[in-house]
Structure 1
Amino acid sequence: MLDVRRLRLLRELAHRGTIAAVAGSLSFSPSAVSQQLSVLEREAGVPLLERTGRRVALTPAGQGLVRHAEAVLDRLEQATAELAGARQGLAGPLRIGTFPSAARAVIPAALTTLLREHPGLEPMVSELDSAAVADALRAGELDIALVHDHDFAPGPEEPGVETRPLFTEAMYLASATPGGPAGTDTAVLGHWREAPWIVATPRTLCHAMAVGACQAAGFIPRIRHRIDDFATMLALVAAGQGVALVPQLGTVDLPGGVLLTKLSMCRRTAVAFRSGAGAHPAVSAFTAALSAALPTELAL
């Protein structure tokens, strides 16, 4: 009989690539992960891993087992959701992930609604970049999260994770001086090709979006500052330190002297959860609370 916990380790190895990464994400030692995967191989009766020095790759049998593991874990999430629905009332922790601008603009009102209707729940909010959400969901560190993607930085398809659209925002070019005449995004961005740029830190979707948008306009941005907080970005724009791309939620409390040029590109936000968990009453309740908390101009 194959052990579900060991199947989860194999699935994580398929997604994360190294035993060390699996161990770090699940608070195990690398040797413990290796031992459990060796036991899984004995249970399976066929080699699941190919070891070359310190590198490990999945065999075809291992890759096939991962596909079955995804289905098994999906059904377990469905079973958990069904059992939760049979209980009277919602209670216990609900681990929520979010990106900073949504944490400020949407999450507080959603939590007010959630706790008014389900006082037994204990929401626990963590900020993290959307690129890190899938790993956190699969590892059980989060139950639900807000994620975003952009026209020039689409979110990848993540095995074991489902999403539901929540809202769409306009994107703006923020500058301290007027730009060129209005026109296409290519024309607007191209006007600032020689300017210094303020972008998010590398390996974030916001960084990929800004660089991708500039490249689509025919140039590579000359990056001066790397900042993840939009309020700080706009403060630097106001100080004449460069230009930046900022979503609608990031333009709250706009500093004096900052000009915004609306672009046709958008940022899309969705709710993400483990595959099979969409019917869990706590996931459904928080999703409903988020929808109710959205400003009118953002609601789908």
Structure 2
Amino acid sequence: MSDHPRAAAYRVLPFDLRLFAAVVEHGSITGAASVMSLSLAAASARLKALEASVAVRLLDRSKAGAAPTPAGRAFARHAERVLAELESLHSAMARFGRGLRGTIRLLCNTAAMADPLPPRLGRFLVDHPDFDVALQEASSDAVLDALRSGRAELGIVADYVDPEGLVSIPWLPDRLVAVVPAKHAVAHRRTVSYTELLAHPMVGLSPESGLSRFLTREAQRGGRTAQHRVRVSGFDAAAQLVAASVGVGVMPERAAERSSGQAVRVVPLSDPWAERQLLICLNEEARRFPGVQALIESLCSA
């Protein structure tokens, strides 16, 4: 017997999710009924049945219209995700129905996402219209976990992680450098250590990014903590803030070179771990997935 006696009562139809989303969007059951091609009575009956199914009131009804309750707002967020997944499911099945091969799941670390990957990935997608790529950024450790569990076909990681049990292909150098304001104390140094850099205010990426997690671990190994003045979503934004003298940052050399100029200086890091290499990783089973080998070849071409 189930530990959740009401579990069987949760029978929510996709149509009702769309109807509820329409109520939230239009602010009234009447407006939602119109766009869903229902009578007002039929729409109201379906919404009441939906509330009965989840055993909670989802809408506050008034003469002015209908607004979601706190539970309704949570329901709407979940409904949006479910409907997006259903759309993705239908799209994927339609591709199979037309004889297409599907989607390659590709996970990569921050450094790969920032610069070397997009042009090579773009070439693959143009040359292979039968394949889509589901691209997601993750830390190198998380990428390997996804490959080992079968949640991705292909991954790009930095070589500080151990790809044991996976096929790994050396890809590109991934040297980390410091970016500092042109008038900063270390701007004209030949090299600077990360420990020295941590003595200054920092500009960094979001804490969830793979590079941020890597740098946090390196700081902790030295018994230090970075003082971030601000965190941003990309290297270009970080470089602009460094140029404004907000702080110093660390990024891949390729990304830093785009921003080097009168306001920003690039200083190599002296730490051994700053000399990294990117690896393309996959499991043996993924080799049989259509398109994976072609994607690897596109990534490795000049």
Normalising by the smaller structure, the TM-score range is 0.5 to 0.7
Match of 1:13 in 2: none
Distance 2:264 2:254 in 1: 15
Structure 1 residues 171, 117: CA separation in 2 closer, same or farther (over 3 Å shift)?
Answer: same
Q: Residue 230 of structure 1: which of 226, 235, 252 is its match?
A: 235
Match of 1:166 in 2: 171
Contact 1:94–1:282 (CA<8 Å) still a contact in 2?
A: yes
- What 5-or-longer segments of structure 1 have no aligned partner? 1-88, 294-300
1:175 equivalent to 2:180? Answer yes
Contact 1:97–1:133 (CA<8 Å) still a contact in 2?
A: yes
Match of 2:266 in 1: 260
- State the 1:175 CA deviation: 0.8
Distance 1:204 1:158 in 2: 23
Structure 1 residues 105, 245: CA separation in 2 closer, same or farther (over 3 Å shift)?
Answer: closer
Alignment of 1:1-300 (within 5 A): 91-115=101-125, 117-149=127-159, 154-157=160-163, 161-176=166-181, 177-180=183-186, 182-183=189-190, 185-186=192-193, 189=194, 191-202=196-207, 204-214=209-219, 219-251=224-256, 253-254=258-259, 257-264=263-270, 265-278=274-287, 282-293=291-302
Q: Deviations over 1:117-148 (max 9, x none)?
A: 44432333233333322333344432112222
TM-score, with normalisation over the residues of structure 2? 0.53
**Amino acid paired to 2:252:** P
**Amino acid paired to 1:283:** V
Q: What is the Cα-based RMSD across aligned positions, in Å?
A: 3.4
Distance 2:119 2:198 in 1: 39
TM-score, with normalisation over the residues of structure 1? 0.54
My pick for the range that moved more, 207-216 or 252-261, is 207-216
Counterpart secondary structure, 1:164: strand
The number of aligned residues is 198
Structure 1 residues 119, 194: CA separation in 2 closer, same or farther (over 3 Å shift)?
Answer: closer
- What 5-or-longer segments of structure 2 have no aligned partner? 1-98
- State the 1:99 CA deviation: 3.7
- State the 1:279 CA deviation: 6.1
Higher relative contact order (CA 8 A, sep 6+): 1
Counterpart secondary structure, 1:235: helix
Distance 2:135 2:208 in 1: 22
**Amino acid paired to 1:232:** A
Greater C-alpha radius of gyration: 2
**Amino acid paired to 1:262:** P
Q: Deviations over 1:1-26 (max 9, x none)?
A: xxxxxxxxxxxxxxxxxxxxxxxxxx
Percent same amino acid among aligned pairs?
A: 24
- State the 1:166 CA deviation: 0.6
- State the 1:112 CA deviation: 4.0
